[in-house]
Amino acid sequence: MRFYGYFRSSSAYRCRIAFNLKGIRPETEFVNLRDGVQRLESFRRMNPQGLVPALDTGEGVLTQSLAIVEWLDETHPAPPLLPPDAIARAHVRAFAQIIACEIHPLHNLRVLNHIKQAYGQDQDGADAWCRRWIGEGLAACEAIAAARTHAGAFTFGDTPGLADICLIPQMFAADRFGLDLQPFGRLREIRAACDALPAFAEAHPAKQPDAV
Amino acid sequence: MRFYGYFRSSSAYRCRIAFNLKGIRPETEFVNLRDGVQRLESFRRMNPQGLVPALDTGEGVLTQSLAIVEWLDETHPAPPLLPPDAIARAHVRAFAQIIACEIHPLHNLRVLNHIKQAYGQDQDGADAWCRRWIGEGLAACEAIAAARTHAGAFTFGDTPGLADICLIPQMFAADRFGLDLQPFGRLREIRAACDALPAFAEAHPAKQPDAV
């Protein structure tokens, strides 16, 4: 199994946490997105979409972090990243999707480049754009997490799962763009619980060999 | 089971197709997003997030279209919306996520309102923004779909599934924003196959009682 990632990509970060929670160490290749390595012919031979993260399982090249994490959970069931009950699974997936479908897409690199080029925004303007969408999305996450009065240490219970796998990289991005996380008390508690686990700590962007 | 939707919401449209494919007719409530009904206290008592689509299953209120569709597929397995093999499931989910995580979030209403208000874009400018991201994303979808040389009539085989459920509403949005779909030959073939099925035809926004 060979994993293609980039230290600062939120979606690669999600996959790294999932691999660590499962105790799997794929071979890893670092793809420098800032230099455009993902667009090179050599990379596109492996993944025509030119995207990270990508996972070459040996049977096929998988893309999209949530699809990769669900594949990992189906093929390596212990420890589970989703609860067994269908309704509970839907709540966890919905929380993950608030992040993956409503927050993260708005602050990825191509979008920030576009609002700079097409709308004349400088870095401060781009950061303000990011803070707006991350703040709105994390407020929804906080409301959901805080409403779980019988919650364990993690978003949905006593063990970390798909929701936490998405939340922690999103909070890292929030810090990067200067969002004040003070209002998100429950999310900060969850982050403290995750930070204490090597699976999360070792997946942190700053710990990756390609970090600059 | 009670479903809260809006005729033109892509994500509500996805859920409608899924219900129809499963032969399920939930009670439906129409939430006028343009009038802000989703933000009213009366709606938020049911769904504190103030979002459509939402599905009150009787056991809980589910949100996020992909989570709703996967819940539906787990609880009402026939006909299946995902293939049984883990790698094949990952490919279908990844295709759905290109749409749900990379295209659709960039053209939803709150984002368009923001680029108008903060960056002084008029409707033409907002439409151009939409065409850019939809065009880029559908090009990735076309490449994946066209590369499947042993494909059936639908994106991933002879029966419609999660990929088609996401694709058809995205192509409807592409038309709305004036994107030329001529370059997407394989996607247009898939759309023709879907259009021929009542499950898709009856889910079309124009067929909904709240259509204006």
Q: What are the structural domain ranges in chain A?
A: 2-79, 86-200
Residue bearing tokens 């409403």: A147
pLDDT of A207 higher than 80: yes
SS3 B31: coil
3-state secondary structure of B55: strand
One of 3.40.50.1370, 3.40.30.10, 1.10.3720.10, 3.90.25.10 is the CATH number of B2-79, namely: 3.40.30.10
What 8-state DSSP symbol labels residue A39? G
How close A212 gets to chain B, by Cα (Å)?
26
Q: Which of B93, B116, B134, B142 to mutate to test the interface with A (most CBs of A within 10 A)?
A: B93
Query: What value does the mean pLDDT take over residues A46-58?
Result: 88
Q: Domain B86-201: which topology?
A: Glutathione S-transferase Yfyf (Class Pi); Chain A, domain 2 (1.20.1050)
Contact partners, residue B109, CB within 8 Å, separation at least 6: B33
- Which chain B residue has the Cα nearest residue A60? B87
Would you state the structure tokens that stand for residue B111, as one six-digit string? 């984002």
Q: What is the ipTM of this complex?
A: 0.96
Give me the amino acid identity at B11.
S
Say yes or no for a CB contact (<8 Å) between A62 and B111. Answer: no
DSSP 8-state symbol, A54: E
Q: Do A64 and B98 make contact, defined as CB atoms within 8 angstroms?
A: yes
Q: Is the predicted pLDDT of residue A150 greater than 80, yes or no?
A: no
The shortest C-alpha distance from B68 to chain A (Å) reads: 7
Least confident of A45-59, A119-133, B83-97, B178-192: A45-59
The pLDDT value given to residue A210: 92
pLDDT bin (cut points 50, 70, 90) of residue A16 is very high
For chain B of 212 residues, list the mean pLDDT of each consecutive stretch of 10: 95 98 96 86 82 92 97 98 97 97 93 95 97 96 89 93 98 97 98 98 96 90
Cβ pair B62:A143 closer than 8 A: no
Contact B8, B14 (CB under 8 A): no
The C-alpha atoms of residue A44 and residue A67 are separated, in whole angstroms, by: 20
Which member of A89, A90, A101 has the closest CB to residue B100? Answer: A101
| Chain B environment of A86 (Cβ under 8 Å) | 71, 74-75
Q: Out of B74, B97, B132, whose CB is closest to A67?
A: B97
Cα B136 to the center of its chain, rounded Å: 17
Chain A residues with beta carbon closer than 8 angstroms to that of B116: none
pLDDT of residue B188: 98
Report the pLDDT averaged over residues A178-187. Answer: 98
pLDDT at B180: 98
- Strand order across the beta sheet in which B61-63 lies: B27-30, B2-5, B54-56, B61-63
The fold adopted by the segment(s) A86-200 is Glutathione S-transferase Yfyf (Class Pi); Chain A, domain 2 (1.20.1050)
Give residue-wise pLDDT tens across range A169-181: 999 999 999 999 9
Write out pLDDT tens, residues A67-114: 999 999 999 999 999 999 999 999 999 999 999 999 999 998 889 999
pLDDT attached to residue B163: 98
Q: Which of A67, A94, A118 sits opposite B93 (nearest CB)?
A: A67
- Identify the closest residue of chain B to A120 by CA–CA distance: B119
Average pLDDT, chain A: 95
Residues of B in contact with A67 (CB under 8 A): 90-91, 93-94, 97
Strands B2-5 and B54-56: antiparallel
Which residues of chain A make contact with B119, given a CB cutoff of 8 A? 115, 119, 121
Q: What is the pLDDT of residue A201?
A: 98
Q: 0.95 cut: is pTM over it?
A: yes
DSSP letter string, A2-13: EEEE-TT-HHHH
Does position A49 have pLDDT exceeding 80, yes or no? no
Collect all residues of chain B within an 8 Å Cβ-Cβ radius of residue A10: none
Please report the pLDDT score of residue A109 as a whole number: 87
What proportion of chain A, given as a percentage, has pLDDT over 70?
100
